[in-house]
Structure 1
């Protein structure tokens, strides 16, 4: 198989940088489809610019949004209309987890920043009976399936960026300015550990270098 030349890779990187788009926001509507039409309390862990928290506020009586980055949290507050029932807090999600139980907990592109098993156990403890946990996460590619999905995502990413930006060069969305790091767990490791903590959790590999996890706590 012929390798892609470094020159072509650099050209692709320049193209993607000129037409950026938020891979996490791509899954926001999918997240909403996993949730009830109405619920009381929601918690968004790793809320970033607050895009998902604002969507959750359309269904929830109250949304708590937690992020460790004070800069992007301040920007999220500025972008959020005062009428929305969203509270943004700067906190370490593990050390200062919001008290009480939540009907919905979401966590997008954040779990790989946390101790995986401990974080899932914490989510489980704070999820109300009958509540729903939804995770969109990142994993380290290892298997042929991982690499195949990655190969498919490369042209799809470029085309999507072009279409979303209508062919124009644009700055990165605010959500993409938060600090980030690569994932170190493989999808198989994630499935195994999640199964130990959240029996019955549904996990799937997804396009654009993501996986999803959905777990519903049994009613009391």
Structure 2
């Protein structure tokens, strides 16, 4: 990386630290569109503060969110109305996944932290017949298409940050207490391994450094 590239990246980091927005929440409406209008049960793996779990509760009879972080799971419980059909568990995936069948399973920006094939196998085995698995993940850029999409995501990211922070006072940059693990699998590797576990799975590269996977269990 050239000194100029490093300066540009540092400038972008400062810009977004002052104007934060949730890239993963941006995909929540898309996730809901992949699911039936009503489902009996849903599992959100890596639920974080519970934003997606609460959205799923509007169309599911019961929702179970799991996350490995006790503090953020406690925050999810505090932010969820007692009347909502949502429960949360502190657990590591895939070993700590509940041994139940679900009509919908979601997983957003978490899969690259897990053993890939083992996690997909666990999701498949817990999906009820007719159920839907929806994943939003991140991958390591390798191909020219990957790099073009990454380049196109930079101005989009800036525009989204400005729109979502419009009318707000600029926040002071906050240092991250922990670094997230970078993705080590390329998109082609993800497609190959995913389709070996989930035949017929639909995978697509997306803007904003993400890919999506949708699979329906017959």
TM-score higher than 0.5 here? yes
Q: In the superposition, relative to structure 1, how do residues 84 and 177 fare at CA in structure 2: closer, same or farther (>3 Å)?
A: farther
CA distance in 2, matches of 1:47, 1:117: 20
Whether 1:83 and 2:83 are equivalent positions in the alignment is yes
* Correspondences of 1:38-187 after superposition (within 5 Å): 38-166=38-166, 168-170=169-171, 180-187=180-187
Whether 1:31 and 2:31 are equivalent positions in the alignment is yes
What's the CA shift for 1:16?
Answer: 1.2
Alignment deviations for residues 8-66 of structure 1 (CA, whole Å, 9 cap, x no partner) = 43322211111111110000000000000001010000000100000000000000000
CA RMSD of aligned residues (A): 2.0
CA distance in 2, matches of 1:67, 1:189: 26
Give the conservation status (yes or no) of the 8 Å contact 1:20–1:171: no
Q: TM-score, normalised by structure 2?
A: 0.93
Give the conservation status (yes or no) of the 8 Å contact 1:72–1:178: no
CA distance in 1, matches of 2:107, 2:123: 10
SS of aligned partner of 1:166: coil
CA distance in 2, matches of 1:16, 1:43: 31
Q: Which runs of 4+ in 1 moved over 6 A?
A: 176-179
CA distance in 2, matches of 1:97, 1:126: 9
CA distance in 1, matches of 2:16, 2:88: 31
CA distance in 2, matches of 1:70, 1:5: 37
Q: In the superposition, relative to structure 1, how do residues 186 and 22 fare at CA in structure 2: closer, same or farther (>3 Å)?
A: same
SS of aligned partner of 1:152: helix
Structure 1 residues not aligned, in runs of 5+:
none
- Range 155-164 or range 8-17, more displaced: 8-17
What's the CA shift for 1:170?
Answer: 3.4
The size of the alignment, in residue pairs, is 215
SS of aligned partner of 1:40: strand
